[in-house]
A and B are shown apart, each in its own frame.
Chain A
């Protein structure tokens, strides 16, 4: 064959293209942290931020009320009973409030769980600040044990005027691997 091919193919081009292939493969994985960062900045996926560090008492807006609804759900196969103590609260932006969520482990073995929060509408997620939340830690309950889990939060005074109702939902996940370690 070789004598029929007087033109030597350019190795340079091939090496560059292979580099591009490798780069794009890595870029696919780089999208994962990139997505998290973008969601963090924009509140794209309704995930709330971590613990909010207070700098002085927040300013309370006296003439506005926002309804905050609480919902809970269990991930598939999670046997715990998990309920909010109250289903909704009416609060003023800037006002620090506290509520509890009740979790019971009805099984006959110790289990560890993690609650993952989400806010709807997504765009309002960044206006909900949690100064204390059970979702910041994993919860371990012995067989039959029950626990009152605290949530301390306030709504940012800059929340857009058209938002009158927020829904904070928690999904409870079983963490079997963590429990067995």
Chain B
């Protein structure tokens, strides 16, 4: 009897046992872990779809799958990677790290935190279930332009709409929680301008989420009403306008791409100083640059739709405002490079991923600048050049940022060092595979290969084969990542409290692994 009481008593201090620990948990570390595992499962799911796409594109002609299924694959790959892999991974990192970095005992709204995670699996179950339905999964591209996604959509579009509603609700709750945590629960002495940059970038990202996820919810609600309730938001037959869809969608969509990159900016801003053994160069300018990027992201949406027929003044406005974003982004890249300059550099895996991030993200940014030039965009629009551009900012940008963060903080999370040799192998295979997969897409795109097609002209065959080989290599390598993470959780060299050499931040003042409850009494920040 007393043993039972004991277990019950310990429930307040350590995790509960069994499955219900995970279902009922309100602990930010548990929820962060669940977010990260969930996003990794989604990463493999979306990745499997990418493998199907690259297998079909290995040769010209139709060999493996039907064109309809190909369209479903491109659509689902995009949706799952954006909403299922990248966004939840960043929320998971925020859950783990934001309280640790600001010296808070937990998130501000722990129960809401549990809810915002646990509705996600349902959202993706809804979305993925459409693959097994007779009408097939959504096939109108991840941007779901009307009327393709309304009048001509498969009947499963309704599942997609409700799935997006639930994901949106989850993101909004997550964002509210993060803002409330950062604004209210900082340790005494931690002023806003003393916050680590990861916390800063997440604060700004959370505001972006709150501003645009409701607009996404609105636009899918309009679709729902057009499809089922006879309204005509996007149907010209009833006085609506399909172009309106694109405006509303990209009003959400452009800030969304910054939602997927700003936390990665924060991550490399934590990692580069640690492995350069220097303070971050230009902390204040980093904060202002991030804020200006977030602000400008609301003024550039129509650069995604230069070819719909805008007045010249509109084309020019969106062209210049888009180019303007290169300025704060350039400030950030300058600061990262300057932090490394004359530093005592060492290249552990998080640093390798961060260096690749700086170089390759900049490359992706430059192709973005090319696309920003309205007159040339008329040629690049909807070609593989666009695919190359956004994969260069999302894979070595967002995904490498997440890898870097996981390697950087994993010893803190589970108390063991990861296997450095295997991790470096993971980095180099990912780096080579990713460049092989996406670099040739620039060339086929400029030569005129359109995106979202299952077949292509013969002259693109060589570059597409290289792309496919690179994609298979990148995809297979991620199993190595899974192996490394599991191996680290199960054992390995004990991690010290600091893990790295004099890293900055409150998270390195708690033991490794971080205890279930940290900062029950707030630390004092000088």
Please, how many angstroms separate the alpha-carbon atoms of A6 and B110 in the complex? 13
Query: Within 8 Å CB of B233, what residues of A?
Result: 32
Taking CB as reference atom, which chain B residue is nearest A43? B311
Report the Cα distance A18→B109, complex, angstroms. 14
Q: Which listed residue, A3, A14, A20, A22, touches B109 by the CB 8 Å rule?
A: A14
**Cβ–Cβ < 8 Å partners of A52 in chain B:** none
List residues of chain A with CB within 8 A of the CB of B2. none
Q: Are B212 and A45 in contact (CB under 8 A)?
A: no
**Is A9 a contact of B109 with CB atoms below 8 Å?**
yes
- Interface stretch, picked from A23-31, A60-68, A88-96, is A23-31
Contact of A9 among B108, B237, B243, B520 (CB under 8 A): B108
Q: How far is the CB of A100 from chain B (nearest CB, A)?
A: 24
Stretch from B244-252, B258-266, B340-348 forming part of the interface with A: B244-252
Binary CB contact string for chain B from 364 to 392 against chain A (1 if under 8 A, 0 otherwise): 00000000000000000000000000000
Residues of A within 8 A of B311 (CB): 42-44, 122-123
**Is B523 on the interface with A (CB-CB < 8 A)?**
no
Q: Establish whether residues A31 and B214, one from each chain, have CB atoms under 8 Å apart when the complex forms.
A: no
B237 to chain A, nearest CB (A): 4
Do B108 and A24 have beta carbons less than 8 Å apart?
A: no
Q: A24-B215, A177-B230 are in contact. Are A31 and B251 (CB under 8 A)?
A: yes
Interface residues of B in 95-116 (CB under 8 A from A): 104-106, 108-110
A66 to B179, CA, bound (A): 59
Contact flags (1/0) for A24-59 with B, using CB distance below 8 Å? 110111011001000100111110000000000000
Q: Tell whether A17 pairs with B26 under 8 Å between CB atoms, given A7-B104, A9-B185.
A: no
Question: Which of A4, A24, A173 sits near B214, CB closer than 8 Å?
Answer: A24
B180 beta carbon closer than 8 Å to chain A: yes
**B210 x A24 contact (CB < 8 A):** yes
In the assembled complex, the Cα of A18 lies from the Cα of B243 at a distance in Å of: 30
A interface residues, how many (CB within 8 angstroms) = 39
Assess the A4–B176 pair: CB atoms within 8 A.
no
Taking the complex as formed, is A171 at the interface, i.e. its CB lies under 8 A from any CB of chain B?
Answer: yes
Majority SS of interface residues in chain A? helix
Contact across chains for B219 and A7 when beta carbons are under 8 A apart: no
Q: Is B284 an interface residue (CB 8 A)?
A: no
Chain B residues within 8 Å of A10, by CB: 108, 180, 183-184
A123, B179: Cα distance in complex, Å = 44
Which residue on chain B has the smallest CB distance to residue A173?
A: B237
With both beta carbons as reference points, the residue of chain B lying nearest to A7 in the complex is identified as B185
Take A14-B180, A20-B210 as given contacts and tell me if A31 and B244 are in contact as well, using a CB distance cutoff of 8 Å.
Answer: yes
Q: Cβ of A25 and Cβ of B309 under 8 Å apart?
A: no
Separation in Å of the A169 CB from the closest CB of chain B? 12
Bound: A7/B310 CA distance, A: 52
- In the bound complex, how far is the Cα of B246 from the Cα of A31, in angstroms? 12
Q: Is the CB of A28 within 8 A of B179?
A: no
Q: In the complex, what residues of A have CB within 8 A of residue B490's CB?
A: none
Rank and list the top 9 A-B pairs by shortest CB-CB distance, nearest first.
Answer: A28-B218, A9-B108, A25-B214, A24-B214, A28-B215, A10-B184, A173-B237, A17-B176, A13-B180
Q: What are 20 of the A-B contact pairs (CB < 8 Å)?
A: A1-B12, A14-B108, A20-B211, A21-B176, A21-B214, A24-B211, A28-B215, A28-B218, A28-B222, A28-B252, A29-B222, A32-B233, A35-B247, A39-B241, A44-B311, A114-B237, A122-B309, A171-B236, A174-B237, A177-B230
Q: A24-B215, A75-B236, A116-B239 are in contact. List 7 more A-B contacts (CB 8 A).
A: A6-B520, A7-B108, A10-B184, A28-B216, A28-B219, A28-B251, A116-B237
Q: Which residues of A contact B (CB under 8 A)?
A: 1, 3-7, 9-10, 13-14, 17-18, 20-25, 27-29, 31-32, 35, 39, 42-46, 75, 114, 116, 122-123, 171, 173-174, 177
Interface residues of B, Cβ cutoff 8 Å to A: 12, 26, 104-106, 108-110, 172, 175-176, 179-181, 183-185, 210-219, 222, 230, 233, 236-239, 241, 243-244, 247-248, 251-252, 309-312, 314, 517, 520-522
